[in-house]
Amino acid sequence: MALNRSNWRATAEAIAIPIVAILFALILFGIFCAFCGKNPLSIYGAIYSTAFGNWRTFQGTLLRAAPLMLTALCTALPARLGLMIIGNEGALVMGGIGATIAGLMLSYGSLLPNVDQVKNTLGLPSLTVQIGMALGGILFGGLWIAAVGALRHYRAVNETISSLLMNYIAIALLNHLVEGPMKDPASLNKPSSFPIPDAYQLSNISGTRIHYGLLYGLIACIISYFLIQHTTFGFAARTAGGNVKAARIAGLPVGKLTVIICFLAGSCAGLAGMVEVAAVQGQANGSLVAGYGYAGILVAFVARYNPLAAAIVAVLLGGIINSGGALQRTFNMPDATVLVFQGLVFIVVLYSESLYGRLKIFKEAEVKAPPPSAASTAVPV
């Protein structure tokens, strides 16, 4: 595809606006820090060196970004269809439960294995168990959000509210399961399910501390991107997102599209839950609720629902979370500082949304109307 002038401008706009916005947020945060009596320049330095300074610290950033990429897709995909889903946390938790159930069944043949079963695992190859766990996570997370989509389409239940409510329900379910029906009696200090055997847990990418969850996240983002931007399915979804009536007239199965997209969205968050279980915790417990879901919403918004951009923004947010520690340790600022910083970034980036197409510098001087491909990336509702 040849880059014509206006295309070039749209690209430049899409790159320049977020960068300027983030720089502006940094300046605002610097002012905030200055008011608190800290030197903004050394704070910028600490943020940079902690988040991106060298390969060791950058691994920490990537590690934190991995679950965010997946949870971001849970908001980003349905958004292309015009649905505003914030049930990421719930889908992640459900995915974690699903993965744990699958993992326990495939390794012991029981959710509550007795001593014999713990000693004599079924002995399946680890790849089988891991795929099983991934499928469990995908299925549970996917169905959870698919239900939101189905309710939206068939009962017109507001998807934002229903997905929000389902977060609370999923977390309650998790707590109930790990303190009741799935509780490992040995987990006296922290109620948890039985652990998945070490052999079946996801390992790290060799030579790093990064687990394979990052790879899952990147692959999911790339697949989602191609699905949405370069397939007829994605085109249909975008059309339906732009105008439901027009889509119906064009004969698109809006209901099916909604449920499928929601399933895919939920399955991404569910996969994040699987990664948390299989690569980090080794079992299901309350630590699954770590706020990755809510952070993922933020990533999706900042990335303007673009799956590829979501991967980049996830790394950026991972860096912010990473550097939040340095602010505490080196500058004695409280934990809430990083929340203020995130809030500022988010507010400024949202404001910058409104600048698209309004800055003369990125406009072709009234020669042509902007090409439709550029217009379709506008925010759907």
Partner 1 sequence: MSTKRSLYLPRRQVIRGILATAAFGATSKLWTGCSSTPEGASGPGGDASPTAEGGKPIVIGFIYNAPKDDYGWNQAQATGAAAIASIAGIKIVEQESVPETKEVQEVMRNMIEQDSATVIIPTSFGYFDPHVLQVAKDYPEVQFFHSGTLWKEGLPKNVGSYFALVDEGQYLAGRIAAQASKSGKIGFVGAKPINPVLRNINSFMLGVRSVKPNVKMQVIFTGDWSLPVKEAEATNSLVDQGADVIAVHVDSPKVVIETAEKRGVLSSGFHSDQSALAPKGYLTGTMYNWGTIHKKYVELLKSGKTLMNGGIPHQVIGGIAEDYISLATFGPAVTDAIKKDVEATKAKIVDGSTVVYTGPIKDNGGAVKIPGGKKYPVTAQELTQIDWLAEGVSGKTS
Partner 2 sequence: MAAEALGWWGVPLGIMAGTLRGSAPFLFVSLGECLTEKSGKINLGLEGTLLTGAMSAYAVSYQLKDVVGPGLSPWIGVLVAGIAGMALGFIHAWLSQQPKVNDIAVGIAMIIFGSGIAFFFGKPFIKPQAPQLLTFDLGNWSSLPQVQSALKISPLFLLGLIIAPAMAWFFKSTRWGLFIRAVGDSPDAALAMGVSIKKVRMLCIIAGSFLAGIGGACLSLYYPGLWSETISSGQGLMAVALVIFARWNPIQCLWASLFFGGAQAIGPALQSVGIDQGRYLFNAAPYVLTLLIMIITCSPKKTLSGAPGALGTIN
Q: Binding residues for partner 2, per CB under 8 A?
A: 84, 86, 151, 153-158, 160-162, 164-166, 168-169, 172-173, 175-176, 179-180, 294, 297-298, 301, 334-344, 346-347, 350-351, 353-354, 356, 358, 378-379, 381
Residue 45 burial by Cβ neighbours in a 10 Å radius (0-12, 13-18, 19+): middle
Region near partner 1 per CB under 8 A, out of 161-169, 242-250, 286-294, 299-307: 286-294
What values do phi and psi take at 28, rounded to 5? -60, -45
How far is 164 from 155, CA to CA, in rounded Å? 17
Name the minimum Å distance from CB 244 to partner 1.
39
Question: How many beta carbons lie within 10 A of that of residue 163, not counting itself?
Answer: 32
Please identify which residue in 110, 158, 190, 222 interacts with partner 1, judged by CB under 8 A.
Answer: 190
Q: How far is the CB of 134 from partner 2 (least distance, A)?
A: 27
DSSP secondary structure, 308-375, as one string:
HHHHHHHHHHHHHHHHHHHHHHHH---THHHHHHHHHHHHHHHHHHTTTTT-GGGS--SSSPPPHHHH
Within 203-222, the residues that bind partner 1 by CB under 8 A are 209, 211
* Contact partner at residue 80 from partner 1, partner 2, none, CB < 5 to 8 Å by partner kind: none
Residue 115 lies near partner 1 (rule: CB under 8 A): no
For 140, 164, 191, 270, the CA distances from 171, given in Å and listed in that order, are: 14, 11, 14, 13
127 binds partner 1 (CB under 8 A): no
User: What residues contact residue 376 under an 8 Å CB cut-off, 6+ apart?
Assistant: 238, 242
Binding mask 337-376 for partner 1 (x = CB under 8 A): -----------------------xx---xxx---------
Residue 226 binding partner per list partner 2, partner 1, none, with a CB distance cut-off of 5 to 8 Å that depends on partner kind: none
Nearer to partner 1, 12 or 246 (CB): 12
Number of alpha helices (DSSP H) and beta strands (DSSP E) in the chain: 15, 0
* DSSP calls for 19-30: HHHHHHHHHHHH
Find the angle CA(244)-CA(15)-CA(311) to the nearest 5 degrees: 70
Q: Return the SS3 of 381.
A: coil
Minimum separation from the CB atom of position 241 to partner 1 (A): 32
Burial class (CB in 10 A: 0-12, 13-18, 19+), 373: exposed
Q: How far is the CB of 70 from partner 1 (least distance, A)?
A: 14
Stretch that binds partner 1, among 68-76, 117-125, 172-180, 236-244 (CB under 8 A): 172-180
Q: How many residues bind partner 1 (CB under 8 A)?
A: 53
From 36, 280, 308, 355, residue interacting with partner 1 (rule: CB under 8 A): 280
Buried b (16+ CB within 10 A) or exposed e, 225-235: bebbbeeeebe
- Interface contacts to partner 1, rule CB under 8 A: 16, 19-20, 23, 41-42, 44-46, 48-50, 53, 56-57, 60, 63-64, 175, 179-180, 183, 185, 188-191, 209, 211, 276, 280-282, 285, 287, 290-291, 321-322, 325-326, 328-330, 332, 334-336, 360-361, 365-367
